[in-house]
Amino acid sequence: MIDKTTELKLDIARIGTVSAILTQPANARACYVLAHGAGADMRHSFMNKVAEGLADRGIATFRFNFPYMEKKLGRPDQPAVAHAAIRAAVEEAARLCPGLKLVAGGKSFGGRMTSQAQSKAPLPGVKGLAFLGFPLHAAKKPSAERAEHLAGIAIPMLFLQGTRDGLADLGTLKPVIEALGPKAMLHEIEGGDHSFAVLKKSGRSNDEALTEVFDTLAAWIDGLA
Q: What is the pLDDT of residue 74?
A: 86
- Domain definitions of the chain by residue range: 2-223
Query: Which amino acid is present at 138?
Result: A
**DSSP character string of 33-78:** EEE--SSS-TTSHHHHHHHHHHHTTTEEEEEE--HHHHTT-SSPPP
Q: pLDDT at residue 1 above 70?
A: no
The model's confidence at residue 164, banded by pLDDT at 50, 70 and 90, is very high
- Determine the Cα–Cα distance for residues 181 and 183; give it in Å rounded to an integer: 6
Q: What tens digit of pLDDT does each residue of 34-69 get?
A: 999 999 999 999 999 999 999 999 999 999 999 999
Query: Which amino acid is present at 111?
Result: G
Fold of 2-223: Rossmann fold (3.40.50)
Tell me the angle at which helices 45-55 and 206-223 cross, rounded to the nearest 10 degrees. Answer: 50
- E strand or H helix at 126, and its extent? strand 126-132
Q: What tens digit of pLDDT does each residue of 166-205 get?
A: 999 999 999 999 999 999 999 999 999 999 999 999 999 9
Q: What is the pLDDT of residue 61?
A: 98
Strand order, beta sheet including 184-189:
2-12, 16-25, 59-64, 30-35, 101-107, 126-132, 157-162, 184-189
Average pLDDT over residues 78-105: 98
Given its phi and psi angles, is residue 27 left (phi above 0), alpha (psi -120 to 50 degrees) or beta?
Answer: left
Phi, psi of 43 (to 5 degrees): -95, 0
The model's confidence at residue 2, banded by pLDDT at 50, 70 and 90, is low
Average pLDDT over residues 62-90: 97
Q: Does the reported pTM lie above 0.85? A: yes
Q: Number of helices and strands (H, E) in the chain?
A: 6, 8
Beta-bridged to residue 189, according to DSSP, are: 162
- E strand or H helix at 223, and its extent? helix 206-223
Query: Which amino acid is present at 178?
Result: E
Q: What is the pLDDT of residue 96?
A: 97
Mean pLDDT across the chain: 96
- Determine the Cα–Cα distance for residues 202 and 84; give it in Å rounded to an integer: 41
Q: What is the pLDDT of residue 156?
A: 98
Average pLDDT over residues 118-133: 98
Tell me the angle at which helices 79-96 and 109-120 cross, rounded to the nearest 10 degrees. Answer: 90
- Determine the Cα–Cα distance for residues 170 and 74; give it in Å rounded to an integer: 29
